Chain A
């Protein structure tokens, strides 16, 4: 499939959750507590999109489908988009911009603390997503910066785990997927390091922009 229509398709798909919650809020089909449904829905889709974004690289490695990489920026930006909506719905509908209460929440409630940390870390990634920013930063620094997405993933799953009352099944599911996505990267990196050390290194598809320094 050529990439342009695929991008359009992904763009439209990524807007569907917003459409669902927008329509539901308007027509009052989100149940007894629509405000909570919207906040949670936006949070869920932030996490879904974050994991989908993180799945692109392993998908490429496993399938050799390099064009997948060209969807990654859009997926990352949608992650940020939903995170911003999630945060807005918290600031507005949960707190009605009571900044004192919000500050207390961030300081006193661990699930808000890590959620906020995840959001703050997302901001520079969204801000440096343009080609211009990549050129300005240079590939190496850009890539180093964008590796914070791994930490964001961990913070996001912690956020979820700490906010549920008793049933950890969903956070565990997301955590499991994250472990696989990050574990694959760690594993491949280790394989590559060993190959380099063994002198077998030749640049191939899997190579990283940052060359791996042999450990002493």
Chain B
């Protein structure tokens, strides 16, 4: 039993006050749930994916619950980078939240437009490039599946900013290790693993897909073992690379599992939908785990999986 647990962690050069971030697309722009989960109490908040201009998103229905998870096809509906900078970021900055901006574009130029606009603002701790959304036509998974186009994208953005660049990878990529290697070689500071798994739910009575776009992205506890496997594989292949683990975290112990598999931090997504205070509770449970298990510093856990 230890009384004081050091919760701070590093993702590359970025220090987080604890290893738990709210995942993109599950925590709004960071301020929506302040009454349940103040963003400044977390390791960080990752914003909904921002594009150069507002996006309307996909037709409905967009969501369906599936065993131990859900399928979504939101289609990156967002307010656009300009509205974020003027209407949201100042309040996040004032609260002292660590803000990671999730960036989305249909082309390389669109990613660049978003990053260039944000470079004019204080209070952005890092960028997370969404190259892995299964629910949009252009952009998204295109970059995340192809090492050479990802290489070009990351190199171009690397020239635009000194802030950390995280690349959020797709579990649907046929050769994830090649994509991971390309991102790192092009100058990514960290890899976020993983986005949702492309999936299909069928309404048997209607004989139709349950979401309007047909396929959607699977998230929640159902994907946790799959996500853990991918984090561990990437960690083994690139032991020096900072990883941010994500997929099905509901509890502090789930977070510990991702740290053991090699992640320096974790993100909590779908769990927030069932409990708006989920991220905060994961921090508390992680701390309690460490106290019980005699872990003085959470960083001891990172990559600590005893494989054999």
Same complex for A and B? Answer: no
A interface residues with partner B (beta carbon < 8 Å) = none
